[in-house]
Amino acid sequence: MRSFNINDGLVSNQVRGFYQDKKGFLWIMTWEGLSRYDGYAFRNYTLAEGLAHPLINDMIEGKDGRIFIAENDGSVDVILKGEIQPSLRKKYSKSINRLSRQTDGRILASLDHSGVFLFTEDTVITLNKTQEFFSVTDVLVDNNYYFVCGDKSGVMHEDHTFVSVWPDSLFPYSGILKENQDRMWVGTYKGLRWVYLTGAADKINKLSLTAYDRAPWGRWIINDIMQSSEGSIWIAALGGLIQIRPDQSWRVYNRKDGLPNDNITSVFEDRDGFIWIGTDQGMAQLDIKNAIDIFTISEDLPNTIVIDLLPRQDGSAYLVSNLPVVNKIKVGQPIKSIPMGNFGDAYSFLKAGTDTLVCTMNGYYKITGQGIRIWDEIPYSRLVISVMMDSTLISAYGGEITVATSKGSFTDTTFHDQVYVLVPDDDEKIWVASLNKGLFRVNLIKDAVGNKKLEWEDFNTYIPEKTLRSLHRDRKGNIWVGTRYSGLVELTKNGTNDTYVTHRFGRKEGFMSDFIKSIDSDEDGNIWVGTNAGIEKLIPVDDHYRVFSFSRVHNFFAAVQQIVVGPDHTLWCATTSGVDKVRDSGYDTIAPPEVYISSVTTAKKILEDPTELLPFKLNYNQNYIDIEFSSNDFINGKQIEYSYRLTGSQDTSWSNPFPVHNVSYANLLPGVYRFEVKVKGWNGEFGKATFYKFMIRPPFWRQAWFVILFIAAVLALVYSLYRYRIKQLQRIQDVRNRIASDLHDEIGSSLTHVNILSEIGRKTFDKDDQPQQLFKRIGEEVQSSAEALDDIIWSVSSRVDTAEDLISRMRRYASELFDAKGITFALHVEQLDENQSIGLELRRDFYLIYKELLRNIIRHAEATKVSIRILREDQFLSMVVNDNGHGFDTGVATERHGLKSIKGRVSKWKGQISVDSSDQGTTIKIGLPLKKNI
């Protein structure tokens, strides 16, 4: 019996009922919500998780996996893929008390104050044609008749017209169960009732309830009723859990048997045959296939430790406790004591043919139907440990060994240690396990004069230590030695010679302890081992043994002082707290269950659905992942072992099996991973692996698109730098070409002109006035060349590339030009950052346009006043030049090259030019784009 409460994770101790879905999950309905159990842990559903109401009445699973939850406020919630689906919730005016699937597949809903309805996955359909409303707690359909329990109980037609009404004095009725074709059970608040079915439709109205008066619990309040697969009727009552076996024998389970409480609210059988019991202080699990019956010293046995026991064919057992009494115990019956009288304290039992002997310090005594009687077939000898070998009795006390027959006895005193166990072998040989000197074999031989004596053989070379605590010979003749510290050793004969091959079993092989206290074997060849931590079972498989940890499976961890195999696959175990009768139902043959992944978490919860997990992608910084798994195994989910691996990682080997239910991986590198887990069945085999795929994305700078983009960007940058370099070289070359052209056009032509004038001057040097005018013109040409050279140098200088430098030079040029002619001028700068850098080409062309405009005013306008504005308009560097001279007709073609040169430079920059000329003067506006500032 295993119990569970809120400390184990159950949502509430007040359990109302159970349900098992198609995947094997066990659902527990309580007053405070819903719990789902997978054999290892609980997952709870409450108001916080989305339930409409915490009080759960019943639940049922639909065809598509949807689970419908009937709640006490009339709501029906839906759980799909492990999650509550609020969008699928239905709300009815009356609450559904019970959802029951009938043999024809229909689901009937028993409603509060409304009767019986047909339940579909979308709604409930009324069956009430007469509009007679009453509360229904349970319903069963048989031969088109509705057997109902509620505030009006009995037998009715589908239209709610009653054929037979049961007495109100038994109200309320709690449940109904059809056991077979002839009998139906009805639970009421005034005890259990029978309904005997006649099978005839015309007698259905004569059905009556018969009180069950065969047991003292027949009048208890009945809360629930159920029939298990092996045929027992299970009744949840206020007072305990009642089992009525097919042979009509019964048993009551209560607190003494491990139930949390004696008020049993519900009972349920799962697919594996486990009985689940609900109480108002938690729930319990009962394994009727592999039950452990406990006889405790404080309640069932004399207040002393049992030192020997002997199972009997009728299911009982004799036991002795170093007291002058032999006790007989049997499940469900009080202990029976057989006094030894004056025969002394009973130490052990011995089978002598058909006789059962009790060994004392005073001799051997036989158990008979009339009590304890003297057995005197072999003379008395002082003894504690005895074995029979044919008609020879071998006994030991301390280090003395006595061999006795009906004709006499002799004692060997040569062994100087305490004999712990004696085991007969073939050919008058006896195995001896001693307390501190190890393992020996004693041969019964005759000396030269025909007297019998013992010959000792030392076998300590076969065992790891000399402190022995148990010894056994199995049906194959193998010798099993239990040690204090080194586990169990098997000695198997090596062929026909008298040597042995050894095999060791201990913690390394799966035992829970290396302290081996007792050994026995059964008719199937299994070796049963009692240790300081419970029971181990060695199962023969071909030429070796498989370790099955019986205690780990059944949570049986008592220190077993003695283990004895009984009939019908039972074991009797003497422990430090009493005696336990254990039934072995062969769980070691059960194949592995299906394993489920319960949840996957990383920095945040990824998926909640334990059965519908899809591949998931994680960012590179979410490289921690925790995976939980379970197998819906209710034998002992906390002890079932799993093996797992993670493909895609450095280590892809399967882990050693271990009872762990989650695994965490940290600092995972980017990549595609596949987590695989498989469960080791109780038969020692592994089941089919379940897997979960996930991917950790590499950081964006390691992803293909980024690498490609980065390479493209680098190539583009290199290409841009290459283009920029070529462009710069081209600019340099253009500057060189322009400087060469300017030098050729400006300086070269001036110098040529000077050379020509010098030659003319040389030839006309002697003429009047001619040299003076020539020298004047030479000076003008030299001055013009100097100015042109200065402009060239200024235009290529990087130290004068700001707007301030440009404005300063323009102001100086205008001053030198207009002051000499007596022309008044004004230069204004507007909306222009004087620190703004202006490119070489733009600065040069803007300045040359400015010079050309001013020279044209001097040459043609005959103006007396000039106004100059330099400003920035959006992305344009503009100048507006206005004079008060006589204008010109802009529509008449002219041979002048000055205005054409200006327009050519403006066009080069795709700039703007406007000319407004009249008799009152001329205004010319030039704008060059700054975005092409180079």
Q: Which of 893, 880, 886, 877 is nearest to 844 (CA)?
A: 877
Name the more confident of 407 and 492. 492
Rounded to 5°, the CA angle 253-37-241 comes to: 10
Q: What are the extents of the domains in the chain? A: 16-91, 95-182, 596-698, 703-796, 800-934
The listed range with the strongest mean pLDDT (60-64, 142-146, 402-406, 510-514) is 510-514
Where on the phi/psi map is residue 438: left (φ > 0), alpha (ψ -120 to 50), or beta?
left
Name the more confident of 644 and 174. 644
Percent of the chain with pLDDT strictly greater than 90: 37
Q: What is the pLDDT of residues 283-292, one digit of tens each?
A: 999 988 777 8
Q: Where are the alpha helices (DSSP H) in 256-334?
A: none
Q: Indicate the average pLDDT of the chain.
A: 85
- What are phi and psi for residue 814, nearest 5 degrees? -65, -40
Q: What is the pLDDT of residues 71-106, one digit of tens each?
A: 999 999 999 988 899 999 999 888 999 998 887 788
**282-286, 342-346, 470-474: which has the minimum mean pLDDT?**
342-346
Q: What is the pLDDT of residues 621-678, one digit of tens each?
A: 878 888 989 888 888 888 889 999 999 888 889 999 988 999 999 888 888 899 999 9
Q: Where are the beta strands (DSSP E) in 103-261?
A: 107-111, 115-119, 124-126, 136-142, 145-150, 154-156, 162-165, 173-178, 183-188, 191-196, 209-211, 222-227, 233-237, 240-244, 250-253
Per DSSP, the chain holds a count of helices (H) and strands (E) of 7, 70
Q: Is the pLDDT of residue 164 over 90?
A: no
Q: Which of 399, 391, 384 is nearest to 432 (CA)?
A: 399
Q: Which of 500, 503, 532 is nearest to 515 (CA)?
A: 532
CA dist., res. 343 & res. 581, Å (int): 29
Percent of the chain with pLDDT strictly greater than 70: 87
**49-53, 702-706, 821-825: which has the minimum mean pLDDT?**
702-706
pLDDT level of residue 821 (50, 70, 90 thresholds): confident
546 in Cβ contact with 537 (< 8 Å): no
**128-142, 236-250, 434-448, 861-875: which has the minimum mean pLDDT?**
128-142
Name the more confident of 350 and 790. 350
Inter-CA distances, 653 with 643, 645, 658, Å? 10, 6, 15
CA dist., res. 791 & res. 847, Å (int): 9
Mean pLDDT of the 43-50 span? 94
Q: Which of 566, 597, 601, 600 is nearest to 580 (CA)?
A: 566
13 in Cβ contact with 6 (< 8 Å): yes
CA dist., res. 844 & res. 842, Å (int): 5
The listed range with the strongest mean pLDDT (122-126, 170-174, 206-210, 272-276) is 272-276
Mean pLDDT of the 118-122 span? 82
Q: What is the pLDDT of residues 668-722, one digit of tens each?
A: 888 889 999 999 988 889 999 998 888 888 888 888 888 899 999 999 999 999 9
Residue 878 is encoded by which pair of tokens?
A: 């503009």
Q: What is the pLDDT of residue 651?
A: 83
Q: Is the pLDDT of residue 253 over 50?
A: yes
Inter-CA distances, 29 with 177, 280, 639, Å? 21, 12, 26
Name the more confident of 834 and 755. 834
Inter-CA distances, 194 with 163, 203, 229, Å? 18, 16, 20
Q: What is the pLDDT of residue 884?
A: 92
Name the more confident of 883 and 379. 883
**266-280, 376-390, 736-750, 896-910: which has the minimum mean pLDDT?**
736-750
Contacts of 516 (CB under 8 A, 6+ apart): 469, 470, 482, 483, 484, 487, 488, 529, 530, 531
Question: 3-class DSSP state for residue 414?
Answer: coil
CATH 2.40.10 applies to domain 16-91: yes
The listed range with the strongest mean pLDDT (166-180, 455-469, 574-588) is 455-469
Q: Is the pLDDT of residue 462 over 80?
A: yes
309 in Cβ contact with 559 (< 8 Å): no
Q: What is the pLDDT of residue 610?
A: 44
* C-alpha neighbours within 13 Å on the C-beta side of residue 51: 26
Q: Which of 298, 319, 300 is nearest to 310 (CA)?
A: 319
Mean pLDDT of the 292-320 span? 83
Q: What is the pLDDT of residue 237?
A: 94
| Domain 800-934 in the same topology as domain 16-91 | no
Q: What is the 3-state secondary structure (H, E, C) of 611-635?
A: CCCCCEEECCCCCCEEEEEECCCCC
What is the Rg, in whole angstroms, of the alpha carbon atoms belonging to the chain? Answer: 55
| Peptide bond preceding 172 in cis form (omega within 30 of 0) | yes
CA dist., res. 305 & res. 646, Å (int): 51
Report CA dihedral (835, 838, 840, 843) to the nearest 10 degrees.
-100
Question: 3-class DSSP state for residue 586?
Answer: coil
CA dist., res. 185 & res. 149, Å (int): 12
Mean pLDDT of the 503-521 span? 95
Name the more confident of 798 and 235. 235
Residue 501 is encoded by which pair of tokens?
A: 């091959």
- What are phi and psi for residue 102, nearest 5 degrees? -85, 170
Q: Which fold has domain 596-698?
A: Immunoglobulin-like (2.60.40)
CA dist., res. 473 & res. 520, Å (int): 8
Q: Is the pLDDT of residue 768 over 70?
A: no
Q: CA torsion sign, 607 to 612 to 616 to 622?
A: positive
Mean pLDDT of the 159-183 span? 80
Q: What is the pLDDT of residue 792?
A: 66
Q: Which of 345, 305, 268, 234 is nearest to 58 (CA)?
A: 268
Q: Is the pLDDT of residue 826 over 90?
A: yes
Q: What is the pLDDT of residue 380?
A: 58
Q: CA torsion sign, 838 to 842 to 848 to 854?
A: negative
Indicate the helix (H) or strand (E) that contains 711: helix 704-742
11 in Cβ contact with 44 (< 8 Å): yes
pLDDT level of residue 565 (50, 70, 90 thresholds): very high
Mean pLDDT of the 141-158 span? 83
Question: 3-class DSSP state for residue 170?
Answer: helix
- CATH code for residues 800-934: 3.30.565.10
Q: Is the pLDDT of residue 934 over 50?
A: no
Question: 3-class DSSP state for residue 920?
Answer: coil
